[in-house]
Structure 1
Amino acid sequence: MIRLGVIGTNWITDRFISAALSSGQYHLTAVYSRTQEKAAEFASKYGKVECFDSLDELANSDVIDVVYIASPNSLHAPQAKVFINAGKHVIGEKPLASNITEVQELVDLAAEKQVLLFEAMKATYVPNFEVIKKALPKLGRIRKAYFSYCQYSSRYQKYLNGENPNTFNPEFSNGSLMDIGVYPLSSAIALFGEPSSMTAQGTMLDSGVDAHGTLVLHYQDCDVTVAHSKVSDGVIPSEIQGENGTLLIDFISECHGVKLYRRDEPVVELTVEQDENAMRYEAEEFARLYHTGAVNHEGLLRTQIVSAITTQARSIIGVRYPADEI
């Protein structure tokens, strides 16, 4: 069993713990929060779990093998460094870090310490994503793809009311692209690799982050459009267009459904059943890498490409984080 510690006491941490435990490969052994009281309150529903309010103490303890980091985006990289330096494996919530410089530092440090570094990008590990990859040859030469993830933020009204929630605050390395745009972008990179060039557009909020935007990834034979928004809801599916057919993908961040449309042929339903908690598959993939000792794995390259693109896109749009100034 993999002994799991977690940083973060929010809903996404609960969801990852549930996913990890359901895989049958993890045992929750530690919870970190800024106060012992908050850590104990969160841990109480999981039985006997050690609680920490010191990152260094947790990192240097002998109660965990791996830490799952679900703190605000700006803290992902500095917290990951603490654990990598202590020889612990790291699962970092997306995005793994604020920019490509931080990502590269983590990758290099993990290689030096020979620990497993893994970005929790659920979109690319669910079974229906594998269905998409296997179906691509049926489309013929790929010409166009449109990946969209637009979701009106539950925190947007607070922002409009004059508050400054984390999700719209550059201090926490947030905004539309880094919060939800990384899902369709990561899917595009996992399917098509690194583009030859990229264009980016975004609409800024007064707080200094992007409200919504669009990336276009340019390849030799095709363009991939990535649309994202935190201030509007999207209801249309994503699609991949080839000369012989088109794949329709429902909810690209979890791939709820996949359909194949080929010219002059009946529509083919390709969807396979998935766990309701899509995070289970990223937990299972980490466990596979952990047990096989695969420190240098495919996901790291994808993380680096995505981070390089988001760093460049933010520079074009005008989104700057404190982490960019270091």
Structure 2
Amino acid sequence: MKIGIVGAGNIVPDFLEASKNIEDFEIVSISATENGRERMKKLSEEYGIKNIYTNYEDLLNDDIDVVYIAIPNSLHYEFAKKAIERNKHIILEKPFTTTYKEAEELVELAQEYGIMLFEAISNQYLPNYKKTKELISELGDIKIVQLNYSQYSSRYDRFKNGDIAPAFDPKKSGGALMDLNVYNIYYIVGLFGSPQKILYTANIERNIDTSGVLILDYGSFKCVAVGAKDCKAPLSMNIQGDKGYINSSDAANMYNKFTFAKNDGTEKVFELNGGKERLYHELVKFAEYYKNEDFDKFYEANEKSLIVMKILEEARKQAGLEF
């Protein structure tokens, strides 16, 4: 498949590195703003990308099958909608969109046009995550789930001085919830589905959440998801049942290693991701679904995206964040 990339930010080199090992991928074009021209030139030289554009329409006019959208969150809906209307399949970076309504419209439009719409959310496709799903039942009744993805951002110092990067910009749908905690939410939703209740309390600066604590209540058990860009702490992930637990010291988007332990003292460590690039496994799955025209897999993933978008929107509403 021929792929065009929209964006030239930090995630794009990761995508390109992973793509080198996907047999069916051919990256032919990249598009960004004029400010990104030099960065695009470097990526073009390093990865053999033939065409460089500073106009999205030019990329859509190119001979491509798939658009990889890696631009500020606030633009996801607009750019994805245009791609669908031009009959391009889509790999869309997280978070899916800004609002639930936008996400719902994209999903419906993609189905109407027969477009494969895929949110690039790494943890859902990691072998370690698949194994965790298999082991959950052996933990007995789940009681507590806790994830902490706190990563002090180099942009936070600039932010405090009034230099607002997209990840901290409410106009671009930034913030700790949308940037980091979304991985925690996906990890939880992928295992347990929709929660019964949610509660989000956040530290707000300049009308954006720089850190926050999200509680997802599943009735018989509770989940706590911490995401922070204004402070750091050891990364942690725990699923606690009455017969054992799963523990990891990784971020929810990496999940390279975890320990499965039972109350009888037995333990086993799993490292199944194979040392691959972080985005590799999700792109392998996209290529597989694409090749097999397995629309049911895309629809299934889209439903999960809608659940996450509903949680994100309600959480922002509770924190008084309006995008």
Normalised to the residue count of structure 2, the TM-score between the two structures is 0.94
Deviation at 1:269, TM superposition (A): 1.3
Cα deviation 1:144-196 (Å, max 9, x = unaligned): 11111111111001112231222211111000000111001001000001111
Deviation at 1:264, TM superposition (A): 2.1
Q: Which residue of 2 aligns with 1:22?
A: 21
- Whole-angstrom distance in 2 between the partners of 1:125 and 1:273: 10
Deviation at 1:37, TM superposition (A): 4.0
- Whole-angstrom distance in 1 between the partners of 2:232 and 2:21: 31
Q: Which amino acid aligns with 1:299?
A: A
| Structure 1 residue 216 corresponds to structure 2 residue 215 | yes
Greater shift after overlay, 106-115 or 251-260?
Answer: 251-260
Deviation at 1:236, TM superposition (A): 4.3
Cα deviation 1:191-216 (Å, max 9, x = unaligned): 001111211111101x2110111111
Q: Which residue of 2 aligns with 1:324?
A: none
Deviation at 1:288, TM superposition (A): 1.2
- Whole-angstrom distance in 2 between the partners of 1:198 and 1:59: 39
Q: Which amino acid aligns with 2:278?
A: A
- Alignment map for 1:233-248 (pairs within 5 Å): 233-248=232-247
Specify the SS of the correspondent of 1:155.
Answer: helix
Q: How many pairs does the alignment contain?
A: 318
Specify the SS of the correspondent of 1:15.
Answer: helix
| Structure 1 residue 156 corresponds to structure 2 residue 156 | yes
In structure 1, stretches of 5+ residues that fail to align are 322-326
Cα distance 1:260–1:48, how it changes in 2: closer, same or farther (>3 A)?
A: closer
Cα distance 1:48–1:219, how it changes in 2: closer, same or farther (>3 A)?
A: closer
Q: Which residue of 2 aligns with 1:314?
A: 316
Q: Please say if residues 169 and 175 of structure 2, whose CA atoms lie closer than 8 Å, have aligned partners that are also in contact.
A: yes
Q: Which amino acid aligns with 1:135?
A: L
Deviation at 1:57, TM superposition (A): 2.5
- Alignment map for 1:69-218 (pairs within 5 Å): 69-205=69-205, 207-218=206-217
Q: Which residue of 2 aligns with 1:59?
A: 60
Cα deviation 1:275-301 (Å, max 9, x = unaligned): 341100111111111112123432111
Specify the SS of the correspondent of 1:22.
Answer: coil
Specify the SS of the correspondent of 1:71.
Answer: coil
Q: Which amino acid aligns with 2:122?
A: K
- Whole-angstrom distance in 2 between the partners of 1:221 and 1:15: 39
Cα distance 1:234–1:299, how it changes in 2: closer, same or farther (>3 A)?
A: farther
Give the alignment's Cα RMSD to 1 decimal.
1.5
Deviation at 1:273, TM superposition (A): 4.2
Q: Which residue of 2 aligns with 1:262?
A: 262
Cα deviation 1:120-155 (Å, max 9, x = unaligned): 100111111111111111101111111111111110
Specify the SS of the correspondent of 1:200.
Answer: strand
In structure 2, stretches of 5+ residues that fail to align are none
- Whole-angstrom distance in 2 between the partners of 1:48 and 1:319: 39
- Whole-angstrom distance in 2 between the partners of 1:19 and 1:265: 38
Q: Please say if residues 126 and 274 of structure 1, whose CA atoms lie closer than 8 Å, have aligned partners that are also in contact.
A: no
Cα distance 1:289–1:57, how it changes in 2: closer, same or farther (>3 A)?
A: same
- Whole-angstrom distance in 1 between the partners of 2:188 and 2:101: 22
Specify the SS of the correspondent of 1:119.
Answer: strand
Q: Please say if residues 126 and 273 of structure 2, whose CA atoms lie closer than 8 Å, have aligned partners that are also in contact.
A: no
Normalised to the residue count of structure 1, the TM-score between the two structures is 0.94
Specify the SS of the correspondent of 2:154.
Answer: coil
| Structure 1 residue 3 corresponds to structure 2 residue 2 | yes
Q: Please say if residues 117 and 295 of structure 1, whose CA atoms lie closer than 8 Å, have aligned partners that are also in contact.
A: no
Greater shift after overlay, 174-183 or 234-243?
Answer: 234-243
- Whole-angstrom distance in 1 between the partners of 2:150 and 2:49: 39
Cα deviation 1:216-267 (Å, max 9, x = unaligned): 1111321111111111112042100111001102312211211112112232
Q: Which residue of 1 aligns with 2:44?
A: 43
Q: Which amino acid aligns with 2:258?
A: V
- Whole-angstrom distance in 1 between the partners of 2:83 and 2:11: 20
Q: Please say if residues 149 and 253 of structure 1, whose CA atoms lie closer than 8 Å, have aligned partners that are also in contact.
A: no
Identity, in percent, stands at 29
Q: Please say if residues 149 and 235 of structure 2, whose CA atoms lie closer than 8 Å, have aligned partners that are also in contact.
A: no
Q: Please say if residues 189 and 306 of structure 1, whose CA atoms lie closer than 8 Å, have aligned partners that are also in contact.
A: yes
